[in-house]
Amino acid sequence: MKNQKRIRDYGVTIGNMKVGERNAITDVDGVLVGHCTLNDNNIKTGVTALLPHKNNIFKDKLIAGSCIINGFGKTTGLIQLNELGTLETPIILTNTLSVGTAYEALVEYMLKENKDIGSTTGTVNPIICECNDGILNDIRGLHVKKEHVFEALKNVSEEFEEGAVGAGTGMCCLGLKGGIGTASRVFEIEKEKFTMGALVLANFGEGKRLTIDGKKTGVVIEKLLKENNNEIDKGSIIMILATDLPLSSRQLNRICKRASVGLGRVGSYYGNGSGDIVIGFSTANIIKHYEETASVNIKILNENKIDSAFKAAAECVEEAILNALICADTTIGRDKKERKSLKEFIEKI
Catalytic residue among 236, 248, 268, 282: 236
- How many other β-carbons are positioned within 10 Å of the β-carbon of residue 270? 17
260 is catalytic: no
Catalytic residue among 248, 274, 282, 341: 274
**Per-residue H/E/C for the chain:** CCCCCCHHHHCCCCCCCECCCCCCHHHCCCCEEEEEEEEECCEEEEEEEEECCCCCCCCEEEEEEEEEEEECCCCECHHHHHHHCEECCCEEEEEHHHHHHHHHHHHHHHHHHCCCECCCECCCCCEEEEECCCCCCCHHHCCCCHHHHHHHHHCCECCCCCECCHHHCCCEECCEECEEEEEEEEEEECCEEEEEEEEEEECCCCHHHCCECCECHHHHHHHHHCCCCCCCCCCCEEEEEEECCCCCHHHHHHHHHCHHHHHHHCCCCCCCCCEEEEEEEEEEEEEECCCCCCCCCCCCCCHHHCHHHHHHHHHHHHHHHHHHHHHCCCEECHHHCEECCHHHCHHHC
Catalytic residue among 260, 276, 282, 341: 276
248 is catalytic: no
Chain centroid, CA 154 distance in Å: 18
Amino acid at 27: D
295 is catalytic: no
161: left (phi over 0), alpha (psi -120 to 50) or beta: beta
Residues known to be catalytic: 236, 274, 276
